[in-house]
Amino acid sequence: MGKRVGMEVSIAAAEAVKQANVDVISAYPITPQTHIVEHLSELVANGEFDAEFFCVESEHSALSVCVGAAATGARTFTCTSSQGLALMSEITYIASGLRLPILMIISNRTLSAPLSIWNDHSDAMSIRDCGWIQFFVENGQEVYDHVFVGYRLGEDRNVLFPVIINMDGFILSHVIEPFELIEQEKIDQFLPPYQPVHRLHPDRPVTMGAFALPSIFTETKKAQEEAIRSSIPKILETWKAFGDMTGRYYHPIETYKAEDADTLLVTMGSCGETASVAVDKMREEGKSVGLVKIRLWRPFPFEAFKEATLHSKQLVVIDRAISVGACGPVAAELKAALYGEAQRPSVYNFVAGISGRDVTPSDFIKMVDKAEIEIEKGNKEGYEIYGVRG
């Protein structure tokens, strides 16, 4: 049993990076990621952490530094939010195409305009397609844990993909939560030093980042797609090994009172914990409601998701971003995932909690009630922004 302490989630994340023996850290400050970067600076400045750490001149350069360092064989870390993620988005696709295991924590924050520092998932959604392994975590302990999971998984020779941990900005990053810290010896055993398959070194000169003609590009994409899809067993394996070490087992889809539910709330990120309070309340009132939480966003766990949801009648999917002009992105993807099934639940989509607007347990109850009314009217696959005035 590790030490149990209360600390700010950002600080714990930085401590995890230190415990993971990261070699090169490069970041650019942006609210609400700043506390991670500041604590890392402190650790390095005090000699508590031997790493090359520097604040670069932009997020684009931050990820580029990590790409250069990872290609040279170093374990690298960066973190950002919102506009910073948008700025480095070019490089996210490149890092995945080059198959470099980099770990990035995104302190999720809304994308401008208007400018807002508060939390939603629009930044994460903007890079859905970039080819990284992407996790959404619910609480501080999960952030801390997934740093180790992320490195072991990304660096696995059969995986070799960069990894994103999405944690809700302010809601998680700036709050003090209880943590069970893991002993360093256990982490050192769980996480051996990074051994790249290819690295930049004069002893074995390789060329990385060659350009591809149309006659070969499709094959390179197929190779990347196959590799990320077939990493799902490794993800499960890594989670199991982590669970065996700490007693905390994680799954691609987490469920709460869902097995026999007619209506399932579907969430990603920290609002899942709030939704579970609402589920308890609704169960007390005799409603057949449960909760499904998506933890693994990419590669999408189609089988696990179907297993958790096909028995139900309707899903009430909470999106925390909008694909402007089209849909809530998560709901759209879940609908697509279920489309081929003969028996499938209908999907009612709410966009809620945009840019830090609070979503309380009673809001979840209201959403479930609203969905029920609409479905009764025949509006089974509705889409609306919850709680907008006017």
Partner 1 sequence: MTENLNVFAVRTLTQKEYFAPGHRACQGCAEALAVRLVAKALGRNVIIANATGCMEIVSSPFPFTSWRVPWFHVAFENTAAVASGIESALKVLMRKGRIPHKKIVTLAMAGDGGTADIGLQALSGALERGHDFIYICTDNEAYMNTGIQRSSSTPFGASTTTSPAGKVQMGQITWKKNMPAIAAAHNIPYVATACPSYPIDLVQKVKKAADIEGPAYVHILSVCPTGWRSAPELSIKLGRLAVETGVFPLYEVERGQYRLNMDFPKLKPIKDYVKLQGRFRHLTESMIDEIEKRVHQEYEQLKEKAKKGV
Partner 2 sequence: MTKPESEWTWKELPVGNVILEPGNASQYRTGDWKTLKPVLNKELCIHCGLCYIFCPDMAYSLSAEGYFIADLYYCKGCGICAKECPTGAISMVLEEEEK
Task: Please report, as ranges, the residues that interact with partner 1 according to CB under 8 A.
Answer: 23-24, 26, 50-52, 54, 56-58, 60-62, 64-74, 76, 90-91, 94, 98, 193, 200-202, 204-213, 216, 220
- The site partner of 94 among partner 2, partner 1, none (C-beta below 5 to 8 Å per kind) is partner 1
d(CA 311, CA 343): 8
What is the smallest separation between the CB atom of 60 and partner 1, expressed in angstroms? 6
Supply 89's token pair.
Answer: 């988005």
Closest C-alpha among 37, 56, 59, 40 to residue 48:
40
Contact 10, 173 (CB under 8 A): yes
Nearer to partner 2, 112 or 218 (CB): 218
Closest C-alpha among 13, 377, 378, 38 to residue 167:
13
Supply 13's token pair.
Answer: 């994340």
Interaction with partner 2 in 75-114: which residues (CB under 8 A)?
A: 97-100
- The site partner of 68 among partner 1, partner 2, none (C-beta below 5 to 8 Å per kind) is partner 1
Nearer to partner 1, 62 or 137 (CB): 62
Contact 182, 19 (CB under 8 A): yes
Nearer to partner 1, 65 or 315 (CB): 65
Contact 242, 149 (CB under 8 A): yes
What is the smallest separation between the CB atom of 37 and partner 1, expressed in angstroms? 15
Of 45, 212, 373, 385, the one binding partner 2 by CB under 8 A = 212
Single-letter residue type at 161: F
What is the smallest separation between the CB atom of 233 and partner 2, expressed in angstroms? 18
What is the smallest separation between the CB atom of 73 and partner 2, expressed in angstroms? 13
What is the smallest separation between the CB atom of 95 and partner 2, expressed in angstroms? 10
Nearer to partner 1, 70 or 375 (CB): 70
What's the DSSP call for residue 49? Answer: S
The string over 75-95, giving b where at least 16 C-beta atoms fall within 10 Å of a residue's C-beta and e elsewhere, is bbbbbbbbbbbbbbbebbebb
Our finding on whether 215 is near partner 2 (CB under 8 A) is yes
Q: Phi, psi at residue 359, to the nearest 5°?
A: -120, 110
Neighbours of 351 (CB within 10 A): 24
Nearer to partner 2, 156 or 372 (CB): 156
What is the smallest separation between the CB atom of 127 and partner 2, expressed in angstroms? 19
Supply 143's token pair.
Answer: 């952030």
Residues found near partner 2 in the complex (CB under 8 A): 97-100, 160, 197-198, 205-208, 210, 212-213, 215-216, 218-220, 222-223, 226-227
